[in-house]
Structure 1
């Protein structure tokens, strides 16, 4: 398969590339230093990426940012970060990429544990994650040409505990390689409309 991995330079993205590159042709996309550049908050940038890459069998999104901070300090502008990046950016990868994915192909997006198991300072990120999950679930029944769509919902990563550990006290961190296996299941499996929880 020819697989486009958006966010290939991140911790999850690198694990996905490592796992899938053994059997598939991988095109790595990111803001800088990848095979193709893309800013998922720009529709023009997404269109340009798909034009550059050409037809693919699968698109994986291992990207999307959101603001972390106390709810009492959350402003509409700060909340918009997650909406524009994690939610709208990933949804636009699907909407603008339908024609780029071959018949029977797939999209796999990223959500996160916070939508199911809330943490302090994570309300905005939970909002974006939940929106992605709902979109995947609903879009699956309308995807054309046998194209499938799923999402992967990781727990906090072992590799990211130095940065995010204080937010996730009491959570059992998971390795990025285990998260990559869920993406592998989505791409190489047969299910659609699923949110694969790696908790």
Structure 2
């Protein structure tokens, strides 16, 4: 397969690229990529990337492991602060789906990324929890409209092992998710037949 990984230089993205590169051709996109630059908070950037991809031929799968949201107490957040997550994590991934399906082969797949905050929010995560939940609802609705038997899913993981030291204090009592276990969600979405699924990996 030919797979595009957006956010392929990040903590989760690197593991995704490492795994799928063993048997497939992987294109790595991100803000620091020279070959496939993209900022998912910028809709024009998304559109330009998929124009470039389409010119070189259709692909089999798109995985998005990018997106950010501001973490702070709600009383300390401005409307502009909330817009960070809305533009990036939510609309960024919505726009990935809007443009990616045009570049996919029949029966291709799109896999988005959220996290446990959609179902189990913690202190200072009003924005992140909101946008994660929005992505979940979007995926379930978008799956009903995909043509050419294209599938769209989202992987929602707990705090992964490689980021646990950074986030442990925010998630008391939450077990770290082994990277190999987290990868199973992406494998299931890309190589399986599920569609419109929120693939939860929380323990």
Does TM, normalized by the shorter one, top 0.5?
yes
Q: Please state whether the residue corresponding to 2:182 is helix, strand or coil.
A: helix
Structure 1 runs, 4 residues or longer, greater than 6 Å off: none
Q: Please state whether the residue corresponding to 1:108 is helix, strand or coil.
A: strand
Q: Take 1:30 and 1:176, find their aligned partners in 2: how far apart are those partners?
A: 21
| Structure 1 alignment gaps of length 5 or more | none
Question: Is the 8 Å Cα contact of residues 100 and 110 (structure 2) preserved in structure 1?
Answer: no
Q: Please state whether the residue corresponding to 1:96 is helix, strand or coil.
A: helix
Partner of 2:51: 51
- Stretch of structure 1 that moved more, 188-197 or 36-45: 36-45
Count of equivalent residues: 199
Q: Take 1:87 and 1:160, find their aligned partners in 2: how far apart are those partners?
A: 21
Question: Is the 8 Å Cα contact of residues 2 and 56 (structure 1) preserved in structure 2?
Answer: yes
Q: Take 1:38 and 1:45, find their aligned partners in 2: how far apart are those partners?
A: 5
Partner of 2:189: 186
Q: Please state whether the residue corresponding to 1:174 is helix, strand or coil.
A: coil
State the shift of 1:34 in Å.
5.3
- Normalised by the length of structure 2, the TM-score is 0.95
| Structure 2 alignment gaps of length 5 or more | none
Q: Take 2:34 and 2:131, find their aligned partners in 1: how far apart are those partners?
A: 26
State the shift of 1:98 in Å.
1.8
State the shift of 1:66 in Å.
0.4
- Normalised by the length of structure 1, the TM-score is 0.97
- Stretch of structure 1 that moved more, 170-179 or 107-116: 170-179
